[in-house]
Every structure is written in structure tokens, then in C-alpha cells.
Amino acid sequence: MSALSPEETAWAAADAMWATDYASKALGMEIIDVGPGSAILSMVVRDDMANGHGMAHGGFIFTLADSAFAYACNAYDLITVAAHCSITFIAPAKRGDKLVARAREISRVGRSGIYDVQISVGDAVIAEFRGGSRQIGGSFIEGKQINA
């Protein structure tokens, strides 16, 4: 095949992942942008993601961040998994809020990477996430081509 640019590779890997990412789809996530080592995803806090006070369960904020992390660290089309993640909750999000998670690469050395994800609602930062990734080998795009 003709060589893909880094941006094209990031989108091709994202498309291949998204096809079977039933979890992120079921939560109503949308991919706003992807690039080499970066990704922006959004999700609206639904009623079934909230507690009785109408505030988002922290697990769903984490899940959006974790998805953004996954699209960012797999954007080189080298299959990579999350090894360790941490999140600090800064402010609550409420039902109906549109969460935006912006993932960016902090470090990538050998098979290990570090990615930071900021989760915000409008201008307000809701949480800060940091993920450590480990490349395990394999390709999304090639796998897809083989199946085509």
C-alpha cells in the first residue's frame, strides 16, 4: 500500500478500533480528533451515568479518559494497552454536561508510554488523568486489510 502520513495512520487505526469498540459507542462517545499520540473524545453525562444528586459517577469520567488514552496511544498503529492509570477528580460534572477529554503524549520510550488526559466541561477542568501504556505488538490496519 502507499505510505500513510502520521495523521492518516492515526485515523486509520482509530477507525479500525472504533468498529468494534462497543463500549465507547454504547456510552455515546464521539471521536472529535486523533493524531500521532493524541486524541480528543466527547461524551454527554446521561441519567444512567449519574448518582442521585445528578452528578456523574467518577467511573464514567475515567472511562471517557481511558478511551481517549487508548486512541492516542494506538495512533501509531502499534497495538498498545493500558498498564496503569491514575485520575484526580477536581470538580463534579452534572447530568447533561458534555465532557471533553483531550489526550496528549508525554513520553514514549521503547514499548512504554505516558499519556495525560484533561477532562473538561466548557472551560472548567473536571479531572486530570495519567495513563501508562505498553505496546504489545500487532497492527490494527494490517489486521483489517487481511480481513478485507
Q: From the list 78, 85, 135, 141, which residue makes contact with a copy of itself (rule: CB under 8 A)?
A: 85
Residue 67 as a binder of a copy of itself (CB under 8 A): the answer is yes
Closest distance between a copy of itself and the C-beta of residue 2, in Å?
Answer: 26
d(CA 73, CA 35): 10
Closest distance between a copy of itself and the C-beta of residue 46, in Å?
Answer: 9
Q: Which is nearer to a copy of itself, 10 or 27 (CB)?
A: 27
Per-residue exposure over 17-45, b if at least 16 CB sit within 10 Å of its own CB, e if not: bbeebeebeebebebeebbebbbbbbbeb
Residue 86 as a binder of a copy of itself (CB under 8 A): the answer is yes
Q: Which is nearer to a copy of itself, 7 or 81 (CB)?
A: 81
Closest distance between a copy of itself and the C-beta of residue 33, in Å?
Answer: 20
